[in-house]
Homo-oligomer: A and B are copies of this chain.
Amino acid sequence: MHLASMPSQLEGAMDTLIRVFHHYSAKEGDKYKLNKGELKQLLTSELTDFLACQKDPQLVDKIMNDLDSNRDNEVDFNEFVVLVAALTVACNDFFEEQMKKRGE
């Protein structure tokens, strides 16, 4: 174990996911869950530009609705990661399509 060594890019990205989630989840109520207000704040502050690469303008609403259907109206870290994964896959699809169009 070399805990003092530099984290890789991927490790840094994973660490960022954890820190961003807790930055918003700690604001009020359960410190380890996002309530609706915290989730909305996170989405509008952290995902504005990235969502612009989505081709489906309803995608965020759909995801929000899915998350809303939870009994407690709260989003834990696991649910948050599923959301981020879905958005990243959508953006990667867009990216790969552009690459293929350019014949790369």
Please list the residues of chain A having a beta carbon within 8 angstroms of any beta carbon in chain B: 1-3, 5, 7-21, 31-32, 42, 45-50, 52, 77-78, 81-82, 84-85, 87-89, 91-92, 95-96, 104
Distance in angstroms from A84 CB to nearest chain B CB is: 7
Task: Determine the distance from Cα of A17 to Cα of B84 in the docked complex, in whole angstroms.
Answer: 11
A2 & B85 in contact (Cβ 8 Å cutoff): no
Copies of the polypeptide in the assembly:
2
User: Which single residue of chain B is at the shortest CB-CB distance from A100?
Assistant: B32
**Among candidates B12, B84, B92, residue contacting A10 with C-beta atoms closer than 8 Å:** B84
B47 & A8 in contact (Cβ 8 Å cutoff): yes
Task: Please name all residues of chain B whose beta carbon is closer than 8 Å to the beta carbon of A87 when the two chains form the complex.
Answer: 14
